[in-house]
Amino acid sequence: MRIKKLLFLIFVFSITFVSASTSITGLTDLKPDELFEQANKAYSEGDFNLAYKKYKEIVNQGYQNEALYFNLGNAYYKSGEIPLAILFYEKALKLNPASEDAIINLKLSNQKIVDKIEPLPELNVVKWWKNLLFSKKADDWGWLAIQAMFIAMLMFVGFVIANNTLLKKAGFFCGVFLFAVSILFFVFGNQQKNFLNNQAYAIVFSPSLTVRSAPHNSGTKLFLIHEGAKVQVLDELSDWKKISIPNGSMGWVKSDAMEKI
């Protein structure tokens, strides 16, 4: 399990003003980067319980960062807290769906839980589209769109000022092409953000959770799921949530039996 440090430090330094204006009662007065260093040290020394406590203190201060979530997932994994490890690997992937480290460690964690739920089959074109969409972070798609747009503008400037007919044509068609590419990259980033923001997922933390046909204890028992399982939250009523699992089965469960990703 690899520890990520540089990305977190860049993140902390970029939002120092947040930590300066935030105080959480009962927590250490150490700065997030100091806590992160202590957590990394504890992890490297094999004290995984101390490591995840230090990482969790940073999370409790309101920080959200891929490297932080990834390292916290690693510490939970090493401590045998597999459902929590899955939760934080999923949180890391929500921030960066293309993180190969988080993808690999999540697969390892999922091998250790009870439920091995086969997802519904998807068309190859749908799989291809999702793989392409999540091959980069939404912000990366945005930067690519800006770069393509900038180059397209340069091509159009070249078209305007060029005296040579061939250069004018090259500038015009290259500009049009790059403009279209820029729009496409923007669409990719926007689609990815919409996909992540509009679908709610959660991880089950109950050792054994009965899924019922209705949002009350007298509802018919449909099937069981176990801790570590990932579910999609479709609806909510009082202290019940309607969920679906990857094979398409749906039902109602108690809200306090799971934690949102």
140 and 180 fall within a common domain: yes
Query: Is residue 184 included in any domain, yes or no?
Result: yes
**What are the CA-CA distances from residue 54 to residues 3, 34, 47, 57 (Å)?**
14, 10, 11, 5
190 and 151 fall within a common domain: yes
Instruction: Kindly indicate the confidence band of residue 31, based on its pLDDT and cuts at 50, 70 and 90.
Output: confident
Query: Is residue 25 included in any domain, yes or no?
Result: no
pLDDT tens-digit readout, 205-245: 999 999 999 999 999 999 999 999 999 999 999 899 999 99
Residues contacting residue 37 through CB under 8 Å, at least 6 positions apart: none
64 and 77 fall within a common domain: yes
- Which of these, 104, 64, 109, 52, lies nearest to 83 by C-alpha position? 109
81 and 62 fall within a common domain: yes
93 and 131 fall within a common domain: no
Rg of the Cα atoms in the chain: 23
Return d(Cα 89, Cα 107) in angstroms, integer. Answer: 10
41 and 90 fall within a common domain: yes
Query: Is residue 17 included in any domain, yes or no?
Result: no
Instruction: Kindly indicate the confidence band of residue 3, based on its pLDDT and cuts at 50, 70 and 90.
Output: low
Query: Is residue 15 included in any domain, yes or no?
Result: no
Q: Which tokens hold the place of 77? A: 């994994």
Asked which of 144, 163, 198 is the last residue of a domain, the reply is 198
CATH, residue 230 = 2.30.30.40
136 and 99 fall within a common domain: no
- Write out the H or E segment, with its range, that includes residue 132: helix 124-133
Asked which of 155, 182, 198 is the last residue of a domain, the reply is 198
Q: What average pLDDT does range 171-196 have in this prediction? A: 91
Domain encompassing residue 50? 33-111
Q: How many domains in the chain? A: 3
Q: What average pLDDT does range 12-25 have in this prediction? A: 34
Query: Is residue 142 included in any domain, yes or no?
Result: yes
CATH, residue 65 = 1.25.40.10
Q: Considering the entire predicted model, what is its pTM?
A: 0.74
171 and 211 fall within a common domain: no
Query: Is residue 18 included in any domain, yes or no?
Result: no
Residues contacting residue 84 through CB under 8 Å, at least 6 positions apart: 52, 73, 76
Query: Is residue 9 included in any domain, yes or no?
Result: no
Are the CB atoms for 148 and 182 separated by under 8 Å? yes
> What pLDDT is stored for residue 121 in this prediction?
82
Query: Is residue 98 included in any domain, yes or no?
Result: yes
154 and 217 fall within a common domain: no
Q: What average pLDDT does range 113-123 have in this prediction? A: 86
140 and 189 fall within a common domain: yes
pLDDT at residue 28 greater than cutoff 80 = no
Kindly tell me the sign of the dihedral angle through the C-alpha atoms of 210, 211, 215, 219: negative
